[in-house]
Structure 1
């Protein structure tokens, strides 16, 4: 029996393959993973919140009716008063704030961390409180004490006692620089204290045993270790001093001491928006250059290993006979920057006549009904409908921004820590989320007016609405939210999510059931910090809030400008109670205590 030979295999030909060769198989399009989709979504949100306002700001100045503003600002007869002199004043305030903050913050950090002075723990807490206070709290306290009759109106406590207060101490660059330092030295203190706490005392003692003097040990070992923290604190204080609005406005404008921030505010509020937007761009560029210099300087610095696998102990300097003088200076600084301003604000809100304790005390400015003889009939803070509405708006705004920024920050942090997508995508997301940190608050507010102040495509104008306050707040605080989210995500092991993935849980299920509960404590801490920043910040909202949508910080500035000193101080005390209370609350949720809080 024979078998027929197998039939030859047929070759399938196609028009594009006349020779009969098999064409290459087309690879199916790869579907992006869930985290990549999430990355694109969060980047789109950031584009609306961050990129669009900046683009709108630039477009407005380059429009047909705004191009002349560049020439007016940089090269015209008014540019000296509009740009160059305010720019010089801003830089002067930045340098003064940086130098004084470094000196004061560094001294207190050394006292709290490196000495055996009693009560160091309390000093450490007091040194962190000024940054939680509104910056205008210290300016109002200064005005209540040192104001003279140079610009008319009521005078301060010293003048009511018959003491002559020189003009340079009451108004202008000196009080502005001192009050800015009193507010921002906390930045340097926290950074330098944390750096000093990482210095191993055994290393210092080993150097002394080799014959090195204490001065040489401090200069060659301790100082290089804390130099990056010193530089970072100084540059942050410089940036804040350059961009701060309310302190120069309260203590400088009455004597025509202008900075970029006050010129920007004046231009926009008087209808000269194009010039104001150009000044906003200048302010953004200055702040960005400072922050870029900060990252370059600290990045190039030498690295010193101060934490090893072996347990180390902190080196404590015994003060001996210097204990009392050093303690007196440290406690005087803490009292003048934290305790006394609060007492001055409370006491001055109780005087019947402004800053005149001889006129008697009254609770009218807190609980009183309308009285034409006092504050032109304004009710007390706790009975004034406008102030109560502003307090409600302020708290709701803080909560809304904290929740929205916290959710967005967590999603961005998840992408940055878990995404396996293209590096350029996550890198872009990281950079864009950091950009608002380079933009001063008042400049960001101007950018939101430029972009959302008029109808934009299908979207109506948002100016004067609660929505624009929330959007601007989220944009301004997203760098802090992302950092808090990243710190919280770093504590969540990937193994937990890998187990959920193997069980079939999708991205949304993992975020809701695993990531959110495990990061809740860290997110709560970051959310409270965002809340505090929104409650006490004036620069961001001063251009966005309207009489129909008031907030406490703007009311304080308005009352002070109209010489309703008692009401301004009372509202400031209310803001301080909310912000400091929230700050103390967040300390209870922090896992890691401050480096100096475990002793003393």
Structure 2
């Protein structure tokens, strides 16, 4: 009798799915990255671009100064995210602070709010008029807001910390929730103080998670385009991402590709350092075979104060930006956010005497077009990425092939580590020109869709793998023995059972697409307007009220989708 695992066609099926997904990932991920490297190594303009960027009289402004700014921002954001995210994680996972579950939920929301929304909210309060345009609320109150607080490095770092600390919180909180309570109890029985327990036991145990959270925040910060562009460019503070955008925009593509490679290298080096440190700290094992109930640290008299600080952090980074954007979209001047409100910026007709003749966003034909395009693009990319991600998850979980499966796994996760603007530059390099009989895709919605699909792949694969891994292989084998083919089993068994996870992946991908600016800012065209680009264009032209209104539309869509994803996932939180 032939074993089900060795039936004719089983090996072909296993290898066929893995090979197909590997080829797709090579086209979507590997090929664009190889292309920008090859183009910068071509004799002439390619190799000259390396010299121009790294070792010429232009290199100081082209790379070294932007790289220095990028490093300062990355390290500052990583440190701030570890402090904020680590504090909140400790508060909800290890203490008896009241309202822990609500704090845990709110601490994950800032990552769902686009960074340009937080940047616009910052400007509504702290912007001054010395670099052109109207000032913010503090200037309207008669306060002299210094330039360093309005523009440049400090506001960029603060805004990005508010955006990315949710990453550090998620990683560190998961690690703290797994800390064996016996360690804490033993320390308490010996008379150790709360401070001693925190710094002598808890911190060393979760140090790998702290390093991982900091590394993710660093990678996100150095690749972010929106916050440095809105808060840095008005005072000519360049980062590698904004400089890369400038090079591509003015047609100096080879220099832009070199900057893209260097930006990827910066992210890769620091993520590699973090992984190397993690590899050397594997001795911190706290989960054994014996179950242990988590032991919470009693905060005593500091209980309410620390809980209030946690609530304040969450409110400032989630609720306050939304309220500020709403007020700033209604006030004729950000100097006085809470008076003379008007709906003109939303529904007003064009009036030469008001807002320089600009009509409200719902009378701007670009908004309707951008809204439709954004929703269609978000839905299409989410569907495509999750179909492919689901197939990859099945291949990695049920049809593993030596070496090839590892390649598929690595390529499917790689976009998570790549700066979005560098990834967009790679797509321009490969698909911006004709390839044999295939036409150039630059300026088409297809190119934008392909790039965003590849960028969303890690989310789709991870949610797919988490769900598919929970489905017993016996069901698949039983169906195979009855003669059901691969696609029949996939559609009738695996997909229905994995529907909840796939649905969550669809919504997560959708939220990320409609708020993306790093990829879309390089690949959009006037024929494919998007809400994020429309908001950025309004803000760049000084129409901050209109930018705030468009951003609120994005936020409403994002929060509705994020709420639906949360309801679908319904995962029990450990912070109760």
- Provide TM-score, normalisation by structure 1: 0.91
Partner of 1:203: 183
Match of 2:559 among 577, 580, 599: 580
Evaluate the alpha carbon distance shift between residue 281 and residue 110 of structure 1 in structure 2; reply closer, same or farther with a 3 A threshold. Answer: same
Aligned to 1:16: none
Q: Does the CA-based 8 Å contact 2:18-2:400 persist in structure 1?
A: no
The residue that corresponds to 2:313 in the other structure is: 333
Match of residue 375 from structure 1: 355
Q: What SS class does the counterpart of residue 360 from structure 1 fall into?
A: coil
State the 1:407 CA deviation: 0.9
> How many corresponding residue pairs?
568
- C-alpha distance in 2, partners of 1:305/1:287? 28
The residue number in structure 2 matching 1:440 is 419
Query: For 1:92 and 1:210, how far apart are their aligned partners in 2?
Result: 42
In the alignment, the residues of structure 1 paired with residue 573 and residue 350 of structure 2 have an alpha-carbon distance, to the nearest angstrom, of 47
For residues 307 and 511 of structure 1, the distance between their equivalents in structure 2, rounded to whole angstroms, comes to 36
Shift of 1:329: 2.1
| Residue of structure 2 in register with 1:15 after alignment | none
Q: Hey, what's the Cα distance between the residues in 2 that align with 1:183 and 1:420? A: 37
Q: Distance in 1 between matches of 2:437 and 2:412?
A: 26
Poorly superposed stretches of 4+, deviation over 6 Å: none
**Is 1:425–2:404 an aligned residue pair?**
yes
- Corresponding residue number in structure 1 for 2:293: 313
Q: CA deviation at 1:59?
A: 2.8
**Contact 2:241/2:421, CA 8 A, preserved across alignment:** yes
Aligned-partner Cα distance in 2 for 1:530–1:355: 37
Matched position secondary structure for 2:443:
coil
Q: CA deviation at 1:305?
A: 4.2
Residue 405 of structure 1, aligned match among 385, 394, 419: 385
Q: 1:126 matched to which residue of 2?
A: 106
> SS in structure 2 opposite 1:361?
coil
Contact 2:326 2:549 (8 Å CA) reproduced: yes
Counterpart mapping for 1:155-170 below 5 A: 155-170=135-150
Larger radius of gyration: 1
Q: Are the equivalent residues in 1 in contact too, given 2:504–2:569 (CA < 8 A)?
A: yes
Match of 2:3 in 1: none
The counterpart of 1:281, out of the listed 250, 254, 261, is 261
Task: Return the offset for 1:477.
Answer: 1.3
Aligned to 1:542: 521
Q: Does structure 2 retain, via aligned residues, the 8 Å contact 1:115–1:319?
A: yes
Q: Which moved more, 1:202-211 or 1:339-348?
A: 202-211
| Per-residue deviation, 1:354 | 4.2
Give secondary structure in 1 for the equivalent of 2:268: helix
Pairing partner for 2:542 from 563, 570, 591: 563
| Distance in 2 separating the partners of 1:143 and 1:352 | 15
Bigger Cα displacement from structure 2, 120-129 vs 150-159: 120-129
| Residues 194, 297 of structure 2: 8 Å contact kept | no
Q: Does 1:53 align with 2:32?
A: yes
Residue of structure 2 aligned with 1:77, choices 57, 81, 91: 57
Aligned to 1:33, which of 8, 12, 22? 12
* Distance 1:30-1:357 versus aligned 2 partners, 3 A rule: closer
How far does residue 306 in structure 1 lie from its aligned partner after superposition?
3.6
Structure 1 residues not aligned, in runs of 5+: 1-28
The alignment status of 1:323 with 2:303, answered yes or no, reads yes
Question: What CA distance in whole angstroms lies between the structure 2 residues aligned with 1:212 and 1:358?
Answer: 51
User: For structure 1, which segment, 278-287 or 428-437, has the greater mean C-alpha deviation from structure 2 after superposition?
Assistant: 428-437
| Residue-by-residue CA offset, 1:75-108 (whole Å, 9 max, x unaligned) | 1001011101100110000000011111111111
Alignment of 1:88 with 2:68, yes or no, is: yes
Residue 5 of structure 2 corresponds to: none
Distance 1:568 1:356 in 2: 17
Contact kept? 1:417, 1:489, Cα under 8 Å:
yes
- Cα shift at 1:383: 3.0
- CA distance in 1 between counterparts of 2:294 and 2:348 reads 54
Is 1:348–1:355's contact at 8 Å kept on the other side of the alignment?
no
Aligned to 2:203: 223
Distance (Å, rounded) in 2 between the aligned partners of 1:162 and 1:258: 30
Please identify which structure carries the higher helix content: 2
Q: Using structure 2 for the length normalisation, give the TM-score.
A: 0.95
Shift of 1:420: 4.8
Question: Of 233, 236, 242, which aligns to 2:222?
Answer: 242
The question of 1:269 aligning with 2:241 is answered: no
Q: Is contact 2:394–2:468 with CA below 8 Å preserved after alignment?
A: yes
Shift of 1:561: 0.4
For residues 91-106 of structure 1, the aligned pairs below 5 Å read 91-106=71-86
Q: Which residue of 2 aligns with 1:6?
A: none
Question: What is the distance in 2 between the residues matched to 1:216 and 1:143?
Answer: 41
Whole-angstrom CA distance in 1 between matches of 2:51 and 2:135? 41
Checking the alignment, whether the CA contact within 8 Å between 1:57 and 1:447 is kept in structure 2 is yes
- Structure 1 position 361 matched with structure 2 position 336: no
The alpha-carbon deviation at position 30 of structure 1 amounts to 9.9
Which residue, out of 139, 142, 147, partners 2:122?
Answer: 142
Residue 516 of structure 1 pairs with residue 492 of structure 2: no
Could you tell me whether the CA contact under 8 Å between 1:116 and 1:316 is conserved in 2?
A: yes
Distance (Å, rounded) in 2 between the aligned partners of 1:539 and 1:131: 15
Partners of 2:36 and 2:430 within 8 A in 1? yes
Q: Distance in 1 between matches of 2:68 and 2:400?
A: 47
The whole-number CA distance in structure 1 between the counterparts of 2:434 and 2:557 is 35
Structure 1 residues 350, 245: CA separation in 2 closer, same or farther (over 3 Å shift)? same
Q: For structure 1, which segment, 231-240 or 450-459, has the greater mean C-alpha deviation from structure 2 after superposition?
A: 450-459
Conservation of the 8 A alpha-carbon contact between 1:86 and 1:260: yes
Q: Which residue does 1:151 correspond to in 2?
A: 131
Gaps of 5+ in 2: 1-7
Deviation at 1:342, TM superposition (A): 0.9
1:468 correspondence with 2:447: yes
1:292 deviation in Å? 2.2
Could you give the per-residue CA deviations for residues 3-51 of structure 1, whole angstroms, max 9, x where no partner exists? xxxxxxxxxxxxxxxxxxxxxxxxxx99951120111111111111112
3-state secondary structure, aligned to 2:294 = coil
